């Protein structure tokens, strides 16, 4: 099961219930310290210098445990009770350009604005430019609201314990949280059952894809129809189709107004010029994706009308992306017919009639609102992609990085997701297909980011085929 996204009070209640059931807090802290040390070891290499800043609370305890679990590293543990007494020690340590700083100053229990002495320490750390790993929550950040309490550490990575805290996944906290990682296996009992938001983990992805029968053939694995590409935007159709192949559907067909340009780049995909005969060919598909690259002048009203009719009347799964989102009627399709929209924040703002800032201020609410308006499953792209329906738990994706902020990444995601939805085994599992696609798309980006400063969409498509979670 995905991990719950919890408030500070829910986390405290979870801990108290665990202590009541005989779990020892010292044992949990030991596991937290071990997880922190493992992250520091991954971040650094043998012989590197690591500075560990430990406050008075449990975060400081986790940091002190981690300091004893860093073999082959030069470490300096600075215990801080009075910031005025230790500021010189911290400044001297940071002059040595440590490979990593561990921020264990304050945890999720911070409920006041920090005074000037503490904010001075935080400013020194931030201005050092050295990579920071924050323990449970960046010091100075409110774990419930994601707001800064006077000043806050700007971490490269935050490793939080038990479950993600609500404030850490909010867009406003991004510059302080950095990459959010969760050490969930600490031995705590029975997580809060009332959580409305859940965090996708690698464990949730295992066995997500059904095994293929040895005697199966292409007719058993679906046929994705992609309506995409126009003059000046044919690359979107090409990327989308190539990504779709990585999900291994039986067949992929592209219907496009930019036939010559698209067909020249695709070999394993059937390409059809857009025209009246396309309707019959579309009927032979098992799912239809509409939208990538449909922004050129040759996108006429007949295509838009067909998109609206398919949305309202087709029994097939319909996935709508990019410019085609603006063509949709504000209603769902036939009862029981899967419908999915995949807006980025700008598109979501247009659909909701609000600003991008309002969408980002409460991404979960924005996704819920869209699900209600269109009676569809919503994949709201961005940092921590949101997957929502009108009812039920909201899923928050844990993978991905800023490298995905380049043209084509949405087309790749749409193609891969559409190809999963085309497979009969996913027709009644739209949440699973959407969650798996978003998670794997981000996971592949994370893998690429670890080995190269630059990578592009062709690299991402190749990684979709190499990743072990096929």
CA–CA distance from 285 to each of 222, 244, 255, 280 (Å)? 7, 14, 12, 10
On whether both 80 and 140 belong to a single domain, the answer is: yes
pTM reported for the whole predicted model? 0.93
Does residue 310 contact residue 318 with C-beta atoms inside 8 Å? yes
**Containing structural domain, residue 381:** 218-466
- Is 333 part of any domain? yes
pLDDT computed for residue 468 by the predictor? 63
pLDDT computed for residue 300 by the predictor? 84
On whether both 171 and 225 belong to a single domain, the answer is: no
Does residue 178 contact residue 12 with C-beta atoms inside 8 Å? no
Reading the chain (470 residues) residue by residue, the pLDDT tens digits are 789 999 999 999 999 999 999 999 999 999 999 999 999 999 999 999 999 999 999 999 999 999 999 999 999 999 999 999 999 999 999 999 999 999 999 999 998 999 999 999 999 999 999 999 999 999 999 999 999 999 999 999 999 999 999 999 999 999 999 999 999 889 898 887 777 899 999 999 987 887 888 888 888 889 999 999 999 999 999 999 999 999 999 999 999 999 999 999 999 999 999 887 888 889 899 999 999 999 878 888 889 999 999 999 999 999 999 999 999 998 888 888 999 999 999 999 999 999 999 999 999 999 999 999 999 999 999 999 999 999 889 999 999 999 999 999 999 999 999 999 999 999 889 999 999 999 999 999 999 999 988 999 999 999 999 856 54
Q: Considering its fold, how many domains does the chain have in total? A: 2
How wide is the angle at C-alpha 457 spanned by C-alphas 452 and 462, nearest 5°? 80
Give the separation between CA 168 and CA 313, rounded to whole angstroms: 41
Q: Which two tokens stand for residue 171?
A: 């867009």
Domain C-terminal end among 194, 226, 255 = 194
On whether both 40 and 122 belong to a single domain, the answer is: yes
On whether both 111 and 237 belong to a single domain, the answer is: no
Give the separation between CA 342 and CA 317, rounded to whole angstroms: 14
pLDDT computed for residue 313 by the predictor? 93
On whether both 188 and 244 belong to a single domain, the answer is: no
* Residue 121 Cα to chain centre, angstroms: 32
Domain C-terminal end among 178, 194, 210 = 194
On whether both 108 and 142 belong to a single domain, the answer is: yes
| Strand ranges across the sheet with 318-320 | 3-4, 197-199, 394-396, 386-388, 377-380, 339-341, 318-320, 287-290, 223-227, 251-256, 270-273
On whether both 335 and 278 belong to a single domain, the answer is: yes
On whether both 267 and 383 belong to a single domain, the answer is: yes
pLDDT computed for residue 467 by the predictor? 59
Does residue 391 contact residue 415 with C-beta atoms inside 8 Å? no
Domain of 458, CATH number, reads 3.40.1190.20
On whether both 40 and 179 belong to a single domain, the answer is: yes
Give the separation between CA 256 and CA 65, rounded to whole angstroms: 60
On whether both 235 and 121 belong to a single domain, the answer is: no
Domain of 91, CATH number, reads 3.40.50.10260
Does residue 10 contact residue 108 with C-beta atoms inside 8 Å? no
On whether both 184 and 232 belong to a single domain, the answer is: no
pLDDT tens figures, 194-221: 778 999 999 999 878 878 888 888 888 8
pLDDT computed for residue 334 by the predictor? 80
For 360, residues 6+ apart whose C-beta sits below 8 A from its C-beta are 171, 345, 382
Domain C-terminal end among 194, 229, 253 = 194
């Amino acid at each position: 099961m995905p991990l719950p996204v919890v408030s500070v009070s829910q986390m405290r209640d979870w801990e108290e219930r665990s202590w009541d059931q005989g779990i020892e807090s010292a044992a949990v802290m030991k596991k937290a310290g071990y997880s922190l040390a493992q992250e520091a070891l991954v971040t650094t290499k043998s012989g590197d210098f690591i500075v560990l800043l430990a406050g008075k609370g449990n975060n400081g305890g986790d940091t002190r445990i981690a300091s004893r679990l860093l073999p082959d590293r030069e470490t300096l543990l600075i215990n801080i009770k009075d910031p005025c007494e230790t500021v010189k020690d911290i400044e001297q340590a940071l002059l040595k350009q440590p490979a990593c700083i561990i921020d264990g100053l304050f945890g999720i229990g911070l409920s006041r604005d920090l005074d000037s002495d503490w904010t001075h320490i935080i400013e020194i750390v931030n201005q050092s430019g050295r990579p920071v790993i924050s323990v449970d929550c960046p010091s100075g950040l409110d774990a419930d609201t994601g707001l800064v309490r006077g000043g806050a550490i700007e971490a490269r990575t935050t490793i939080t314990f038990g479950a993600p805290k609500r404030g850490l996944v909010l867009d406003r906290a991004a510059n302080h949280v950095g990459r959010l990682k969760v050490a969930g296996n600490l031995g705590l009992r029975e997580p809060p059952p009332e959580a409305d938001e859940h965090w996708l983990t690698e464990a949730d992805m295992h066995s997500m894809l059904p095994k293929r029968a040895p005697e199966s053939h292409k007719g058993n694995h679906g046929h994705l129809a992609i309506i995409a590409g126009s003059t000046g935007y044919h690359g979107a159709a090409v990327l989308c189709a190539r990504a779709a192949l990585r999900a291994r559907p039986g067949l992929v067909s592209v219907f496009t107004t930019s036939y010559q340009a698209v067909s020249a780049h695709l070999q394993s995909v059937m390409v059809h010029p857009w025209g009246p005969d396309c309707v019959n060919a579309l009927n032979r598909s098992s799912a239809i994706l509409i939208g990538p690259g449909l922004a050129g002048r040759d996108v006429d009203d007949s295509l838009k009308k067909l998109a609206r009719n398919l949305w309202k009347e087709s029994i097939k799964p319909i996935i709508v992306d990019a410019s085609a989102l603006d063509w949709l009627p504000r209603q769902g399709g036939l009862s029981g017919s899967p419908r999915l929209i995949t807006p980025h924040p700008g598109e979501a703002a247009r659909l909701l009639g609000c600003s991008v800032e309002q969408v980002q201020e409460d991404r979960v609410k924005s996704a819920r609102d869209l699900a209600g308006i269109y009676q569809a499953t919503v994949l709201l792209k961005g940092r921590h992609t949101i997957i929502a329906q009108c009812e039920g738990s909201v899923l928050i994706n844990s993978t991905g990085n800023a490298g995905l902020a380049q043209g084509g990444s949405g087309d790749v995601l749409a193609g891969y997701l559409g190809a999963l939805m085309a497979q009969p085994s996913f027709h009644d599992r739209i949440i699973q297909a959407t969650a798996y696609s978003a998670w794997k798309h981000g996971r592949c980006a994370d893998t690429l980011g670890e080995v190269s400063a630059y990578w592009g969409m062709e690299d991402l498509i190749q990684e979709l085929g190499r990743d072990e979670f096929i």
